[in-house]
């Protein structure tokens, strides 16, 4: 995975209304880092995610499309059967470490966490005051994601459209 340096990568739902993918981070990060991010919900920038090896690379936004195209070109030169075999062996190794049961438990807990009294209040707030109010209440005390100061948010002009224009 390649992201822009100013990407915000995290699991804000780990604070309220979900638990689905947090366990998956254990396959990429240390136990201490997974617990830190899943318990606090704190995000990583693209640079931090690359340093922690949650993603492969972080590049300046202006270079993102070109870098993705470079990697796609490299992969296109490798026989499809070879790519399939490599993906299969890596995926099987993760499967042997309990990936499927982690995904299953994540889905179950996610459903349960959406029905706690706190989560139902989150839903009521979203229904009566709007999603923005619910998210502000969830993330405001932590000053991150949409509630972060401008210098800690992704640049809103960093948009890639389906036609490839930026």
CATH at residue 25 = 3.90.226.10
Q: Let me know if residue 73 belongs to a domain.
A: yes
Q: For residue range 1-14, what is the model confidence (pLDDT) as tens digits? A: 999 999 999 888 88
Total domain count for the chain?
1
Q: Let me know if residue 21 belongs to a domain.
A: yes
Q: Let me know if residue 27 belongs to a domain.
A: yes
Cα 118 to Cα 150: distance, rounded to the nearest angstrom: 29
Cα dihedral: 60, 62, 63, 65 (round 10): 120
Containing structural domain, residue 41: 2-113
Which pTM does this prediction carry?
A: 0.79
Mean predicted confidence (pLDDT) in 131-140:
93
Band (137; pLDDT cuts 50, 70, 90):
very high
Q: Let me know if residue 149 belongs to a domain.
A: no
Q: Let me know if residue 151 belongs to a domain.
A: no
Q: Let me know if residue 147 belongs to a domain.
A: no
């Amino acid at each position: 995975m390649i992201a822009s340096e100013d990407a915000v990568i995290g699991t804000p739902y780990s604070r309220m209304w979900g638990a689905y993918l947090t366990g998956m981070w254990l396959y990429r990060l240390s136990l201490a880092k997974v617990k830190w991010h899943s318990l606090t919900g704190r995000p990583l920038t693209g640079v931090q995610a690359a340093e922690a090896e949650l993603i492969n690379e972080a590049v300046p936004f202006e270079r993102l499309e070109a870098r993705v195209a470079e990697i796609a070109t490299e992969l296109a030169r490798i026989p499809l059967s070879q790519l399939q075999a490599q993906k299969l062996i890596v995926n099987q190794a993760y499967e042997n470490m309990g990936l499927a049961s982690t995904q299953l438990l994540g889905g179950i807990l996610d459903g349960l966490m959406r029905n706690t009294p706190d989560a139902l209040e989150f839903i009521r707030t979203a229904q009566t005051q709007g999603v923005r109010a619910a998210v502000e209440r969830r993330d405001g005390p932590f000053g991150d994601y949409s509630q972060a100061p401008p210098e800690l948010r992704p640049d809103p002009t960093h948009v890639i459209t389906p036609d490839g224009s930026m």
